[in-house]
Amino acid sequence: MASNTTGYEAFEQSVNSTRTSATLISPATDDGKIGLSAGQVTSTPTYNSSYQAGEPYTLTFLSGTQFKITDATGTDVSSDASSAGKFGNSTFEAQTFTFRGVEMTLNVNLSAADRVSEATADAALTNRSYQLSSTSDSVSTSRSAGNTSTANISSSTVGNTATDRTAFNNTFPTGGAILKFTSATDYDLFASPLTSSSKPVSSGTMTGSTANASGVNFNLSGTPAAGDQFIVESGTHQNENILNTLTAAIKALSTPVDGDLVATQKMKASLDSALGNITSGIAQASTARANGGARQLAANAQGTTNDLLKANNTIEQGTYVNADIIEATTRLTLQKTMLDASQQVFTMLSKLNLFSQL
């Protein structure tokens, strides 16, 4: 058992229940007719084993009452949705369905004209599509002061392909990295800190102005020089700080929504996310408190054991410290006399044998 629980463990390591995203693909501009939440992870084992294995997904509306979900390979996996891809369009109320451990909330905001008939509803919703995936880890970069060129990294993001995400999860250094250019186009990615014995975890050649290393796409402005270095840090969405959760809830509650149906739905989705993360944060803090209680019980048990040992030592010590010297001396002398007599008898008996009598 660890000797203590840090504040980082108690408040920074609660599981983020909102670590997925739903990104509108088509139409290019959101007209508010469909509201699809980012989703909340309700079953971590299913999410880890099933959802992540098939992402990114594409959710496409086939009609005014049916959608289809395909995985990264284009396979139809709509049957894994609890609603089997069916939904209603007659109300603005939230409709929820679970897909591979993630609970999604769907709002259909059709106007009265769109709801006149099945055909008008189909025309309003058909071919809309969203990409469903885990929220990509954030990546930040900074330019080394010793760089000889003026090149800089304008943006850095984890790639959205399965190959990029696998490379990022398996090879990107968790403690930070250094992107070092060996020429104007060739580069290596090292785990930080960079030493003379460091070996690259990823290498490559730029494509245009983009360098891809360990699943991260780095977009550069300017031409780098050999020896240029960039410091790279990553942040995961796997965990959520309880204070960040409260900040998000306050921001959602502070956003004006009067008379705006879509804004109201977004606020509700934000609050649902915050409540999920607050529950997760409370569970993490409770675990930390339970660990503290377990350590206290262990300390109390050890204290009781120490008290028993101390009492036994006191009793044993008393047999020596509190002994009657005269009585002890007399008993010792008597025992010595008995021992001497026993030795003499043994010596005499050992001499008695057949040959000594002849």
Q: Are both 247 and 131 inside the same structural domain?
A: yes
pLDDT of 12 higher than 70? no
Residue 272: inside a domain: yes
pLDDT, residue 148, reads 94
Kindly indicate the confidence band of residue 125, based on its pLDDT and cuts at 50, 70 and 90.
very high
Q: Say if 355 falls within a structural domain.
A: no
Question: Does a structural domain hold residue 347?
Answer: no
Q: Identify which of 242-251, 260-269, 299-308, 339-348 has the greatest average pLDDT.
A: 299-308
Give the residue-averaged pLDDT of 81-110.
92
In this structure, the answer to whether residues 199 and 219 fall within a common structural domain is yes
Residues 171 and 205 in one domain: yes
pLDDT exceeds cutoff 80 at 96: yes
Q: What is the pLDDT of residues 23-51, one digit of tens each?
A: 999 998 999 999 999 888 888 899 989 99
Q: Is the pLDDT of residue 351 over 80?
A: no
Residue 33 located in a structural domain: yes
Whether 20 and 122 map to the same domain: the answer is yes
pLDDT digits (tens, 9 = 90+) for 163-202: 887 888 889 988 889 999 999 999 999 999 999 899 999 9
191, 207, 235 — which closes off a domain? Answer: 235
pLDDT at 160: 73
Residue 142: what pLDDT?
A: 93
More reliable by pLDDT, 326 or 208? 208
pLDDT class of 234 with cuts at 50, 70, 90: confident
pLDDT score, position 356? 58
- pLDDT of 1 over the 60 cut: no
- pLDDT score of 289 more than 90: no
pLDDT over 60 at 357, yes or no: no
Instruction: Find the angle CA(261)-CA(262)-CA(264) to the nearest 5 degrees.
Output: 65
Confidence grade of residue 349 (pLDDT, cut at 50, 70, 90): confident
pLDDT the model gives residue 8: 61
64 and 24 inside one domain: yes
Residues 143 and 263 in one domain: no
Residue 47, domain member (yes or no):
yes
- Given the DSSP bridges, would you call strands 67-70 and 152-158 parallel, antiparallel or unpaired? unpaired
Would residue 79 count as lying in a domain? Answer: yes
124/148 same-domain check: no
**Residue 314 to residue 146: CA distance in whole angstroms:** 70
Same structural domain, 131 and 154: no
Number of structural domains found in the chain? 2
According to DSSP, residue 322 is labeled: T
Taking residues 80-101, report their average pLDDT: 93
Question: Max alpha carbon distance in the chain (Å)?
Answer: 140
Domain boundary among 262, 289, 316: 289
With a cut of 60, say whether residue 294 has pLDDT above it.
yes
Average pLDDT over the chain, rounded to an integer: 86
Does residue 343 belong to any structural domain of this protein? no
Give the per-residue pLDDT at 161.
78
Query: Where is the domain boundary, 193, 217, 235?
Result: 235
At 86, is the pLDDT very low, low, confident or very high (cuts 50, 70, 90)? very high
Which residue type does 333 have? T
Domain identity same for 70 and 151: no
Element at 219 (helix H, strand E): strand 216-221
Of the pLDDT bands very low, low, confident and very high (cuts 50, 70, 90), residue 69 is: very high
Q: Which residues have CB under 8 Å from 267's CB, separation 6+?
A: 252, 253, 255, 257
Q: CA angle, 342 as apex, 337 and 346 as ends, to 5°? A: 150
From CA 98, how far away is CA 209, in angstroms rounded? 40
Instruction: Tell me: do 111 and 260 sit in the same domain.
Output: yes
- Does residue 14 sit in the same domain as residue 92? yes
pLDDT-derived band at 60, boundaries 50, 70, 90: very high
Domain that includes residue 168, residue range: 138-235
Same structural domain for residues 217 and 72?
no
Asked if residue 63 is part of any domain, the answer here is: yes
The predicted-structure confidence for 146-158, as pLDDT tens digits, reads as follows 999 999 999 998 8
